[in-house]
Amino acid sequence: MRPKSQSIETPSFTWNNLFYEFTKDESAESYIINVALDEKSYKTLALRYKELFGTGDGSNGDEDVPYDIEGYLTAIDTDMIDSDYMNTRFEKFPKILRQEGDNAEALKQAVDELHKTFATLTQEEQKYANIFLHDIQRGDVVPEGDKTLRDYITEYMTKAKDDQLHRFAEVFGLDEQKLRALMALQITEGNINEFGRFDALKATVDKQKAKAYFEKIEGKSIIPPKIPVKIDKILREFILRGGFEIKKPN
């Protein structure tokens, strides 16, 4: 005969409690389960997981992931990771820089502590956080008291995206305002050419500039019929990826 099953009282899970006690109905025996991660660690790992798809970090995600990944994990909201701890570490950094005398060891320790908190940022955010810290160390930027580190990261990323868009428009001689207007919309592969807006933008490209650019990048002459295809591909990719650094001719 199969033994009679025993029900177990299951407490509701919350991140505020990192250990749970389970008691069987017909026994005084109890079990304690410790949660291995806190919410911050969980969301940090979820962020790294999402980046395998090239989501949120500025990468294109073209490479195939070599194993199956559950889709729901990529939908976890990682934007709400607490940044207070990171900012308290950031506030120490400029204060140490302003100190007189030999503070190299204290500065190194402050930078190391700050870098450890960068795990809560996307790869792209980490890139601009480091650029910002280097600007402070060089004296190019003086932090303002009412701004957080994340405020500065957002400013740097916004400026970088703006520069990317301007350079792209300049290289291909296209209508920059139309490009900006299109990229400000919720564009997908399915709706990119709604109302003929993508075709209208593509029609503003200077084909001679585009031809010159592609030939410099590829290091060879390209026949005119191939230029529109190349324009369509790079313009479509630029819009769908939210911008990127285009290759610079040697």
Cβ atoms of residues 114 and 126 within 8 Å: no
Mean pLDDT by 10 residues, the chain (250 residues): 49 70 66 71 65 48 48 48 73 78 78 82 88 89 84 92 95 96 93 96 97 95 96 96 86
What's the distance, CA 104 to chain centroid?
A: 31
Element (H, E) at 207: helix 207-218
- How far apart (Å, rounded) are the C-alpha atoms in residues 124 and 85? 20
What pLDDT sits at residue 56? Answer: 41
Domains of the chain by residue range: 84-147, 162-240
What pLDDT sits at residue 28? Answer: 63
What pLDDT sits at residue 113? Answer: 84
What pLDDT sits at residue 59? Answer: 43
What pLDDT sits at residue 178? Answer: 96
